[in-house]
Structure 1
Amino acid sequence: MLQVQLMKPFCRKIEGNRIKLVFAYQYFSIKKDNDLFHFIPVEGKEIIVNTQSLQVENLSEVFVFQKGNRFIRLPLYQLLLVSDIHIHLQTIIGDDDQHESGVILLESTEEIIRQLEQENYERMIDYALLHKNAALFKELQQLKDSNGGYQVENQ
């Protein structure tokens, strides 16, 4: 069995629901029988992963590794079968998932803040009405009219 020693994509591109990982010299190496082989981009140099199914799409891509004058030439499907490359791919793709989930978390946080501001605004109106504070009520109404909604200005 082959072991992936190092696997760092030189470039990572997201195209729709696919992640394209591009590899270059010194960024991908495998170990076979205690010999370290380094990737050389003479044939294939990219791995395309579908982000929804987490399946590798370009299984026929051929990767070439070199140590001195010895070469290992492996189609991607065979590399997936005889090595632990899938663990490294999960780590790389996991980094993208964490980034995307961070963006989603930020968007949901902003929505929660908007909802809380609206609820606070409505409580302020209730407070003004309860205490018969016409000046505060008018000020809140003007704020509502100038913003086109219930959002309170950031101060």
Structure 2
Amino acid sequence: MITVKMLRPYYLKVDKKMVHVVLAYQYFSLLIDNQVYQFVPLEANEILVNRHTKAIENIRAKFAFQNGEDVIYKTMYELITYPDFIFHLHLIVKPYFNLSKVGLEQNDEIDQMIYELERMNLKRRIDQALDERDKALFLELVKHL
């Protein structure tokens, strides 16, 4: 049985697209068969989370965990199968997701504008079909109103 004992970032680096969760020794540990394995930065040392899609981008990254002389490697793909890992990671990156209410309202306004422009274009094409006396095109376009 594998569970996340602790997951805290050493520091976070945030840019427009990504949240970089940088890890360090003693900030990330797993409980594997009742043994505590501490993260050691032998391979990957950060988790990349896309701010727009909420997806983990470095899915192939390999993380090392050590207990005494024993070192175990886990890929990000394996780690995301543990619900408590996702829970801890979500708590860390949630404040940095680009899903503010202002952004959602702006998206709704943009969607409405696009809808109106498409509707106006459809009406112009219907007028053009009438001017050209193209009955088939007229009937096809009217279906979309």
Give TM class, smaller chain: 0.5 to 0.7
Q: After the TM superposition, which residues 1-150 of structure 1 pair with which residues of structure 2 at under 5 Å, given as runs?
A: 1-82=1-82, 84-97=84-97
**RMSD of aligned alpha carbons:** 2.1
1:69-91 per-position Cα deviation (integer Å, ceiling 9, x unaligned): 11110111111124521101110
Per chain length, whose mean CA-contact separation is higher, i.e. which structure has more relative contact order (CA < 8 Å, sep 6+)? 2
1:5-46 per-position Cα deviation (integer Å, ceiling 9, x unaligned): 111111101121210010011100010111110000010000
- For residue 81 of structure 2, give the secondary structure of its aligned residue in structure 1: helix
Matched AA of 1:70: D
Q: How many residues align?
A: 102
CA distance in 2, matches of 1:60, 1:27: 21
Structure 2: segments with no counterpart, 5+ residues:
103-145
* Runs (4+) off by over 3 Å: none
Normalising by structure 1, report the TM-score. 0.60
- For residue 56 of structure 2, give the secondary structure of its aligned residue in structure 1: coil
Structure 1 residue 2: Cα displacement: 1.5
CA distance in 2, matches of 1:87, 1:56: 13
Normalising by structure 2, report the TM-score. 0.64
